[in-house]
A and B are shown apart, each in its own frame.
Chain A
Amino acid sequence: MTALLEVGDLTVRLRLGDEHREVITGTTFQIAAGEAMGLVGESGSGKSMTAKAIARLLPAGAQVSGSVTFDGADVLALQGAELRRHRARVAVVFQDPRAHINPVRRIDDFMTESLRILGDVPRAEARRRAAAALEEVGIDDPAKRLRQFPHELSGGMLQRVMIATALLSEPRLLLADECTTALDVTTQAEVMAILDDLRRDRGLAMLFITHDLELAGAVCDRTTVVYAGQIVETRSSQRLHDDPLHPYSAALVQARPDITATAPRLNAIPGRPVSAFEAPGGCRFAPRCPHALDSCREHDQQITELDAGRVRCERAADLRGRLLASYSPGPSSPGEAAHA
């Protein structure tokens, strides 16, 4: 199976004043048509910038190296009309719908704009398609919604409008960047179900970006965990949850409180998550890792294949099967990591 999306050794540096700061280091992954992959990480992990690089929405002055190939085309080289077409076929839905919609235009204008301008679709036809898309994401009385303004819709409804709009251009890949994080849990379940249906019915590929491993596991067959701008593990979502290979994945699984039981203490990870540009040499997670040895801090870690997964940890084979049991309750007030 050839991949729909191929990201190869992608490195991104963002401009901040006179300097450039690295946010993604050598990221490589593929997504096949109709496949959903979760991209999980904390703040600074570079997960949102990965989506922006794929959609060519990085801020001005960003330095990009490596390759992004979508359906055979070199995304990083696209210009003009080709770039516009690329952005129609790769749709993005962000966390906060209100920040991505013009508050003084009606839903109708917002949804049909790209169809009318890019697709040269007559207004009446564009409106008909918009209404159909709203119905597809479970919105009743679409004709009324199309006449309304963004402030008249709730957050959950507006996020569904964003998804419906993304679908209008008939994309083949959806980049969902924390798109349910700001929603209530019941609305989140609804939006997730809609995305899952769309993938099955339309063969839509999806990059599902979130901080929530469980949520990624619910709709993605495969999950990639990122830390400090680097991929640390890629595995089937189920295996990742039950038998993680990287100490950071294991720590993420164990740090979350459990809804079915009260723990005497949570397995907090000491220190704080860092970005690629502030990460130490050697293994980037080493300062927070209970399993780190001197050699981990000395060598940059490489991705290796292990048990149908890919992991960036020289001790992975060693630690196999022991990670989930190994976090003992630590001191209550962990200090920040030395490099923080």
Chain B
Amino acid sequence: MPDEPILSVRGLRKEFGAHVAVDDLSFDLHEGRSLAVVGESGSGKTTVARMIVGLERPTAGVIVACRRDRSRPARGGAERKRRGREVQIVFQDPYASLDPRQSGAVLVDEVLRVHHNHDAATRRRITGELADLVGLDQRQINALPRDLSGGQRQRLAIARALATDPRVLILDESVAALDVSIQAQVLNVLADIRDERGISYILISHDLAVVRQLTDDAVVMRKGVVVEHGPTGRLLDDPQHPYTRMLRASVPGPGWKPTRTLRTSPAAQ
């Protein structure tokens, strides 16, 4: 493992008015590794993703990706593009994040055109390679999003993200909305891509089984605060913090019986 992390976050904080969405988050992500950010709604996990990718500006703290600071907005187009190349994101809902009038091939080609200086033939070749990588055939990569199933659309969103050749891919609940049989396909594709390209993942998820399958380390957040941080296997097999233990105990499995733990109602949001 290289000494220098590909992504490093220190003392990250985000306030929305009086509300603190993320409070003092720090972690390192090394090349080819995967980190999960786990939490329930309101934990701040999606805000973390948005800050790393540059969709939100941190109130305080430092984000360093590929040795360059990205805590403040980019100055100029070249800098913005470079940041886009280095860190990409795949959202939960592929319906909302694909242009309905643009085929997969045109979409990927556009990303290649904006970010890389390739000729048309090279772009076509790379588009084909990316389609292969995520398991879309010729017909599917040339189809409009509405003619694809949910799983195919999500694979297209992954191909689009990979077109910039990013070092870090953020998966924000990217497999949460998929059917069980399709989810397994996409998780396998993601594991293959990591092996093949040495890319690093940040998986934002509430699904602990998916987290176990895809990540090496995990951060558990609750109401913006990190309650536990460690190797994923250890964290799930032997959770230390009471909240992590409660999360773990809430997952249905063989012999699981639901129990009424929250005797007092949580405050209205």
**A residues with CB within 8 A of B:** 42-43, 138-141, 148, 152-157, 184-190, 192-194, 196-197, 211-212, 214-215, 217-219, 241, 251-252, 255-263, 265-270, 272-273, 288, 332-336, 340
For the complex, give the distance between the alpha carbons of A260 and B256 in Å. Answer: 14
The answer to whether A257 touches B262 (Cβ under 8 A) is no
Residues of B participating in the A interface, judged by any CB pair closer than 8 Å: 40-41, 132-135, 137, 140, 149-152, 179-185, 187-189, 191-192, 206, 208-210, 212-213, 233, 236-237, 246-254, 256-266, 268-269
> Is A188 a contact of B250 with CB atoms below 8 Å?
yes
Shortest B248–chain A CB gap in Å is 8
Cross-interface CB contact of B181 among A188, A252, A335, cutoff 8 Å: A252
Of the candidates B185, B209, B254, B259, the one whose C-beta lies within 8 Å of that of A257 is: B209
Q: Please, which residues of chain A bring their CB within 8 A of the CB of B137? A: 335-336
- With both beta carbons as reference points, the residue of chain A lying nearest to B253 in the complex is identified as A214
Inter-subunit contact B180/A184 (CB<8 Å): no
**Bound CA–CA A333/B137 (angstroms):** 10
Bound state CA distance, A65 and B81, in angstroms? 59
Whether the Cβ atoms of B184 and A154 lie closer than 8 Å is no
| Closest partner residue, chain B, to A182 (CB atom) | B41
Q: Are A261 and B152 in contact (CB under 8 A)?
A: no
Chain B residues with CB under 8 A of A187: 40, 262
CB distance from B18 to the nearest CB of A (A): 18
Taking A43-B150, A272-B181 as given, write out 4 further A-B residue pairs in contact, using a Cβ cutoff of 8 Å, ordered by the A residue number: A186-B250, A257-B213, A259-B212, A263-B213
Contacting pair B252 A194 (CB below 8 A) = no
Whether A214 contacts B184 by the Cβ 8 Å rule is no
Residue of A nearest to B269 (CB): A154
- The answer to whether B41 and A262 have CB atoms under 8 Å apart is no
Quick one: given A140-B265, A186-B40, A262-B213, are A334 and B185 in contact (CB under 8 Å)?
A: yes
Residues of A within 8 A of B150 (CB): 43
A138 near B260: Cβ-Cβ < 8 Å? yes
Q: How far is the CB of A136 from chain B (nearest CB, A)?
A: 11
- Residue pair B268, A157 in contact (C-beta under 8 Å): yes
B175 CB → nearest A CB, Å: 10
Known: A154-B266, A211-B179, A262-B233. A190 touches B261 (CB 8 A): yes
Q: Please tell me if the beta carbons of B252 and A212 are within 8 angstroms of each other in the complex.
A: yes
Q: Chain B: which residue is nearest A215 at the CB level?
A: B252
* Contact (Cβ within 8 A) A268 B188: yes
Q: What's the Cα separation between A260 and B262 when bound, in Å?
A: 25
| Bound CA–CA A284/B189 (angstroms) | 26
Q: Considering the complex, give the chain A residue whose CB is closest to the CB of B133.
A: A333
A-B contacts, 11 listed (Cβ < 8 Å):
A139-B265, A190-B261, A212-B252, A218-B258, A252-B181, A257-B210, A259-B251, A259-B253, A265-B191, A266-B184, A332-B188
C-alpha gap A219/B187 in the complex (Å): 28
Residue of B nearest to A272 (CB): B149
- Docked Cα-Cα span, A211 to B182, in Å, equals 12
Contacts of B181 in A (CB 8 A): 42, 251-252, 255, 268-269, 272-273, 288
Residues of chain A lying within 8 A (CB to CB) of residue B246: 186
A186 touches B252 (CB 8 A): no
| Alpha-carbon separation in the docked complex, A258 to B212 (Å) | 7
CB distance from A139 to the nearest CB of B (A): 5
Closest 6 A/B residue pairs (Cβ)? A333-B135, A192-B258, A269-B181, A257-B213, A268-B184, A184-B40
Closest chain-B Cβ to A200's Cβ sits at a distance in Å of 12
Closest B residue to A43 by beta carbon equals B179
Shortest A262–chain B CB gap in Å is 6
Q: Report B176 CB to chain A, min CB distance, Å.
A: 10
Q: A222 CA to B151 CA in the complex, in Å?
A: 30
Q: In the bound complex, how far is the Cα of B257 from the Cα of A196, in angstroms?
A: 9
A247 to chain B, nearest CB (A): 12
Q: Is the CB of A265 within 8 A of B179?
A: no
User: Which A residues lie within 8 Å of B257 (CB)?
Assistant: 196, 218
Could you tell me the distance in whole angstroms from the C-beta of B86 to the nearest C-beta in chain A? 26
Q: Which residues of B contact A260 (CB under 8 A)?
A: 212, 236-237, 253
Docked-complex contact B258 and A196, CB < 8 angstroms: yes
Contacts of A333 in B (CB 8 A): 132-135, 185, 189, 192
Q: Collect the chain B residues with CB atoms within 8 Å of residue A259's CB.
A: 208-209, 212, 236, 248, 251, 253
B260's partner among A194, A272, A288 (CB-CB below 8 A) is A194
Closest chain B CB from A305 CB (angstroms): 26
Residues of B within 8 A of A265 (CB): 188, 191
Closest-CB distance, A180 to chain B (whole angstroms)? 10
Contact, CB under 8 Å: A262 / B258: no
A333: nearest chain-B partner, CB-CB: B135
Q: Is the pair B180, A252 in contact by a Cβ cutoff of 8 Å?
A: yes
A101 → chain B closest CB, angstroms:
15
**Does A266 contact B135, Cβ atoms closer than 8 Å?**
no
> Which residues does chain A contribute within 8 Å of B184, judged by CB atoms?
255-257, 266-269
Whole-angstrom distance between the Cβ of A85 and the nearest chain B Cβ: 32
**When the two chains form their complex, are residues B209 and A258 in contact, meaning their CB atoms are under 8 A apart?**
yes
Q: Is the CB of B212 within 8 A of A261?
A: yes
Measured CB to CB, the nearest residue on chain B to A192 is B258
Give the complex CA separation of A261 and B237 in angstroms.
9
Residue of B nearest to A42 (CB): B179
Task: Report Cα–Cα, A273/B178, bound state, in Å.
Answer: 11
How close is B125's CB to chain A, nearest CB, in angstroms?
A: 18
Give the residue of A138, A196, A262, A273 whose beta carbon is less than 8 angstroms from that of B179.
A273
Taking A138-B260, A268-B188, A332-B135 as contacts, is the C-beta distance between A217 and B180 under 8 angstroms? no
Candidates A157, A252, A270; contact of B266 at CB < 8 Å: A157
Most central of A189, A252, A334 by chain B CB within 10 Å: A189
Cβ-defined partner of A268 (8 Å) among B140, B185, B206, B212: B185
